[in-house]
DNA sequence: AAGCGGTGTCATAGG
DNA sequence: TTCCTATGACACCGC
């Protein structure tokens, strides 16, 4: 079992995926899925995928908050982590990486990746765990890159009796490392590295022999605990037997099925370098659409209206059911007893049922996620809460909580290690999601997908659910930064933590709390902000209960109305302000007009006065027939059309014609 | 404690 | 008919 465990340490992830795909039995039948890529591989993949870790964020078809973007954030000091640190890694993500590697590269290249991953996986015992890889931040410096392939061997514990096989294993590792390096450097350098690695292989092996057995055993056992206990198994015993029987090269010698059949058998098979090659080449040759399988499968699961045929749909569902359920199993769960019913159950399920179960479990998962964020993160508590296996130790998506997992992994409870990472990751991802929605950015619904789903009664990949849909509910900007919080919790009292969580909830709006309560897989911003077409397609694509749909529509209506009310009030205020401005302008205009009128009146009065003066001046000069001054009270002056002026008696004003004649005579 | 302003929500009308 | 927007009215909250 040491041998097997060490193998598991070196490349156990590979084994797991093999079974996974075989169980799914479907389009993807490769053995390389479960390989845990080393940080270098992840980084290489990031580069291959087109850019830095930050850009890789967009490459992740599943995650908006974690996933591959995190994968590139390898912790530079990852290898210095506690050897007991479990390789927490989102297995699906690892799968995707490997799938990508196989699909994109040649067999040798993929082989190199695989080997490099195995080598780094063994190095993971010293901290370069997959968890560290996924979390790891920043690119490794050149020196670390160089070291990475070498160190693993130093971490390989003494097998104590498998020297020959171990030689092959180590050689495979180093060769794989060289292949990995090939992609970055020229061939000459690679060949030189090969020689060096081979030389160092012997040295390392000597070191390995000197290594205390417990050091390697601790790491490997801690990992095996999860897998062997059913926390990370993706198949039933029955499937395992079928798989093994179908592959004669997979020897079961020395493996106690009753003990740890799963990784053991597979590890055994993988222990052979020949088998290693064979499997991988087969995987490559059979890798029809691994990439597509990974990338497109989500469309078949969580979408209500998948474009793919049901034929391809059902297998994937089965695959998911196999992958997630056991994966969520907490340590100590009897994988055999629990998986078999699952398989039987799954076989009897139709795609629709599976979808329904998926729906139920998705939100159960989210529920668990909520619990993870709201409650204590002690995995034991989680297990007690749900009273069923539910620990995906591989769901280490958020690198930001590396410290947490490290801290907890320092504990001697290897059983808790896996769950610790799980919980931490849940918390982290949850917090991250909570933050993620603050900006209001929502991923394109078409990009939202769900990889895994669990059988009813089992909470599946909560983290994936959160990641894929970014269904988070934004916090107030004033809320404490959740990114930093998870780091602090281990050292704080639970009261403070619960208070923080309460504050977090309190900062959520009513609809956000409602959505959270109903596990709406979308953020309020998404629901409210997305266009009508996207909204409708989202509702049709995702399998939501009527209650959820109703709530989503209400949220959208209220959100729209809220915005409308805000706009309305803003508009009203603008109108009021404009009216006030109008009032001011009108008042000013009124004052101006008043002044103008006053001036006009003054001018008029002046004119009147002048006219009056002129009038009297004219009369003072007028004389009647007798030479006496004309009385202005009895006579008036009239202007004719031709400009002449007539003196008209006021009494006879009506008969102006006579007076006009008379006056004309006088002049 | 009352008043006031801001905000969310509902009901309703209209486009 | 459905959806969206605008808006009055009301309730709630904080100051």
Domains along the sequence of chain A with CATH: 508-610 (1.10.880.10)
pLDDT over threshold 50, residue A571: yes
Q: Report yes or no: A158 and A208 within 8 Å, Cβ to Cβ.
A: yes
The rounded distance, in Å, linking the Cα atoms of A620 and A629 is: 7
Q: How confident is the model at residue A655 (pLDDT cuts 50, 70, 90)?
A: low
Q: How deeply is A148 buried, as exposed, middle or buried, from its count of CB atoms within 10 A (0-12, 13-18, 19+)?
A: buried
The H-assigned helical ranges of A302-392 are 310-327, 335-348, 351-374, 379-386
Quickly count: other Cβ atoms within 10 Å of residue A611's Cβ.
10
What's the mean per-residue pLDDT of chain A?
46
Structure tokens at A91: 């297995």
Residue A233 is given by DSSP the state -
Strand B contacted by A75 CB (< 7 A): no
The predicted pLDDT at position A633 comes to: 84
Residues 486-515 (A) near nucleic chain B, CB < 7 A: 509-511
pLDDT over threshold 90, residue A349: no
Q: Which of A44-58, A138-152, A557-571, A632-646 has the lowest mean pLDDT?
A: A44-58
The pTM for the full model equals 0.30
Strand C contacted by A506 CB (< 7 A): no
pLDDT over threshold 50, residue A259: no
The predicted pLDDT at position A654 comes to: 54
The rounded distance, in Å, linking the Cα atoms of A568 and A560 is: 12
pLDDT over threshold 90, residue A380: no
pLDDT over threshold 50, residue A528: yes
Residues 540-569 (A) near nucleic chain B, CB < 7 A: 554, 557-559, 561-562, 565-566, 569
Q: How deeply is A572 buried, as exposed, middle or buried, from its count of CB atoms within 10 A (0-12, 13-18, 19+)?
A: exposed
User: Where is pLDDT greater, at A588 or A412?
Assistant: A588
pLDDT over threshold 80, residue A591: yes
Mean pLDDT to the nearest integer, A135-140: 33
Distance A586 CA to C5 C1' (A): 32
Q: How confident is the model at residue A599 (pLDDT cuts 50, 70, 90)?
A: very high
Distance A528 CA to C8 C1' (A): 23
The predicted pLDDT at position A652 comes to: 65
Q: How confident is the model at residue A504 (pLDDT cuts 50, 70, 90)?
A: low
Residue A508 is given by DSSP the state S
Alpha-carbon dihedral sign for residues A225, A230, A236, A239: negative
Q: How confident is the model at residue A505 (pLDDT cuts 50, 70, 90)?
A: low
pLDDT over threshold 70, residue A336: no
pLDDT over threshold 80, residue A595: yes
Distance A529 CA to C6 C1' (A): 19
Mean pLDDT to the nearest integer, A352-365: 35
Structure tokens at A222: 């801690």
The alpha carbon of A375 is separated from its chain's Cα centroid by a whole number of angstroms, namely 22
Mean pLDDT to the nearest integer, A569-575: 82
Q: How confident is the model at residue A588 (pLDDT cuts 50, 70, 90)?
A: very high
Structure tokens at A185: 């450097």
Strand B contacted by A589 CB (< 7 A): no
């Amino acid at each position: 079992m040491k041998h097997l465990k060490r193998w598991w340490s070196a490349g156990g992830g590979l084994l797991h995926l093999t079974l996974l795909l075989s169980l799914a039995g479907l389009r993807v039948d490769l053995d390389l899925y479960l390989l845990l890529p080393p940080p270098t591989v992840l980084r290489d993949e990031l580069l291959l995928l087109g850019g830095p870790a930050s850009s890789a964020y967009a490459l992740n078809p599943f995650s908006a908050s974690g996933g591959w973007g995190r994968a590139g954030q390898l912790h530079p000091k990852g290898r210095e982590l506690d050897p007991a640190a479990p390789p927490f890694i989102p297995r699906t993500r690892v799968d995707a990486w490997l799938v990508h590697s196989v699909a994109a590269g040649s067999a040798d290249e993929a082989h190199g990746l695989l080997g490099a991953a195995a080598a780094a996986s063994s190095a993971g015992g010293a901290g370069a765990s997959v968890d560290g890889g996924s979390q790891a931040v920043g690119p490794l410096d050149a020196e670390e890159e160089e070291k990475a392939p070498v160190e693993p061997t130093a971490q390989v514990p003494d097998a104590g009796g498998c020297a020959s096989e171990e030689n092959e294993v180590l050689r495979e590792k180093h060769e794989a490392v060289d292949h990995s390096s090939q992609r970055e450097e020229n061939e000459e350098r690679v060949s030189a590295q090969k020689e060096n690695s081979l030389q160092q292989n012997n040295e390392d092996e000597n070191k390995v022999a000197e290594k205390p057995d417990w050091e390697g055993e601790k790491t490997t056992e801690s990992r095996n605990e999860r897998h062997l206990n059913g926390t990370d198994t993706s198949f039933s015993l029955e499937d395992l037997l079928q798989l093994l029987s179908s592959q004669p090269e997979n020897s079961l010698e020395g493996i106690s099925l009753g003990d740890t059949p799963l990784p053991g058998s597979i590890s055994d098979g993988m222990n052979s370098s020949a088998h290693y090659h064979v499997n991988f080449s087969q995987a490559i040759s059979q890798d029809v659409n691994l990439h597509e399988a990974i990338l497109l499968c989500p469309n078949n699961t969580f979408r209500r209206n998948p474009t793919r045929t049901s034929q391809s749909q059902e297998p994937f569902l089965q695959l998911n059911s196999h992958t997630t359920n056991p994966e969520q199993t907490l340590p100590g769960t009897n994988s055999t007893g629990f998986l078999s019913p699952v398989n039987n159950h799954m076989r009897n399920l139709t795609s629709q049922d599976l979808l329904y179960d998926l729906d139920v479990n998705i939100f159960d998962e989210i529920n668990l996620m909520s619990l993870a964020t709201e409650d204590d993160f002690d995995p034991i508590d989680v297990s007690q809460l749900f009273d069923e296996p539910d620990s995906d130790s591989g769901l280490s998506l958020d690198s930001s909580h590396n410290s947490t997992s490290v801290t907890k992994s320092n504990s001697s409870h290897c059983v808790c290690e896996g769950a610790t990472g799980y919980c931490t990751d849940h918390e982290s991802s949850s917090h991250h999601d909570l933050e993620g929605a603050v900006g209001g950015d929502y991923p394109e619904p078409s990009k939202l997908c769900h990889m895994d789903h669990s059988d009813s009664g089992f909470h599946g990949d909560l983290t994936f659910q959160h990641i894929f849909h970014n269904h988070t509910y934004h916090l107030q900007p004033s809320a404490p930064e959740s990114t930093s919080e998870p780091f602090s919790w281990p050292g704080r009292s639970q009261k403070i933590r619960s208070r923080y969580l309460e504050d977090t909830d309190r900062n959520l709006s009513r609809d956000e709390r409602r959505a959270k309560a109903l596990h709406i897989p979308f953020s309020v911003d998404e629901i409210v902000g997305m266009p009508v077409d996207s909204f409708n397609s989202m509702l049709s694509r995702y399998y939501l209960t009527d209650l959820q749909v109703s709530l989503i529509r209400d949220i959208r209506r209220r959100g729209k109305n809220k915005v409308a009310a805000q706009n309305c009030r803003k508009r009203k205020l603008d109108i009021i302000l404009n009216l006030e401005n109008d009032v001011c302008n009108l008042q000013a205009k009124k004052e101006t007009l008043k002044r103008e009128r006053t001036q006009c009146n003054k001018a008029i009065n002046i004119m009147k006065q002048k006219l009056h003066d002129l009038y009297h001046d004219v009369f003072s000069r007028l004389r009647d027939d007798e030479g006496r001054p004309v009385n202005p009270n009895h006579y008036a002056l009239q202007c004719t059309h031709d400009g002449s002026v007539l003196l008209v008696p006021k009494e006879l004003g009506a008969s102006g014609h006579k007076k006009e004649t008379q006056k004309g005579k006088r002049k």
